[in-house]
Structure 1
């Protein structure tokens, strides 16, 4: 017998589940809105979403059924040092899941 999830988070069967379970969290919604338009760096995600821990926000969205890829890019920081910041982007499968979830919300008369 499975013990209940102590976090209370919805649990899809896996991160690659066929369905995004959705969210009503304003930070999640702001992050998804920008990622549907373009890739976004971790630092910019913090600013756009209004959070201090973009990777935790992305982890929450992954727990809800998205994969959200992160590519490490080469970058030279202000001190001239090579660094590898992450840039998040949605796969085509993620985009499809989000659009399906939004369409379900519109069918029910809710806002997506």
Structure 2
């Protein structure tokens, strides 16, 4: 007597569900985005930088002007330490030319999907706390 094949479990959402390993640690599914948890900040300079990054990818020079700082890479490093990491806030190097016409690689900071979701989640919790 043959048993019918097992029916797959229904998912509650469209996301891939992580499965725990033997020690209870979750193993992400293949092709899933990594989890980024942003701790948040009240620093006005960081908030201006995050606002610019939510709008579009920005080069270092633009980030310096928008945030009001002179060391954009340090500002990015601090945002990464707050939980965005390299996964949530990567830097892409693109071919460009400097003012003398020499070929260079220009760094463009942008929010990955995981970083964007983490910032929006933090903003939602911040808005809830402000409304209380």
Q: With structure 1 as the length reference, what TM-score do the two structures score?
A: 0.81
Does 1 or 2 have the higher relative contact order (CA < 8 Å, sep 6+)?
Answer: 1
- Verify: 1:104 aligned to 2:119, yes or no: no
Aligned with 2:108 (options 72, 80, 87): 87
Indicate the structure (1 or 2) with the bigger Cα radius of gyration.
2
Q: Which residue of 2 aligns with 1:45?
A: 63
Q: Please identify runs of 4+ aligned residues in structure 1 that moved more than 6 A.
A: none
SS in 2 for 1:78: coil
SS in 2 for 1:75: strand
Structure 1 unpaired stretches of 5+: 1-15
Q: Which residue of 2 aligns with 1:64?
A: 82
Structure 2 unpaired stretches of 5+: 1-33
Q: With structure 2 as the length reference, what TM-score do the two structures score?
A: 0.69
Q: Which residue of 1 aligns with 2:19?
A: none
Kindly report the root-mean-square deviation, in angstroms, between the aligned alpha carbons of the 2 structures.
Answer: 1.3
Q: Is the 2:36–2:115 Cα contact (8 Å) retained in structure 1?
A: no
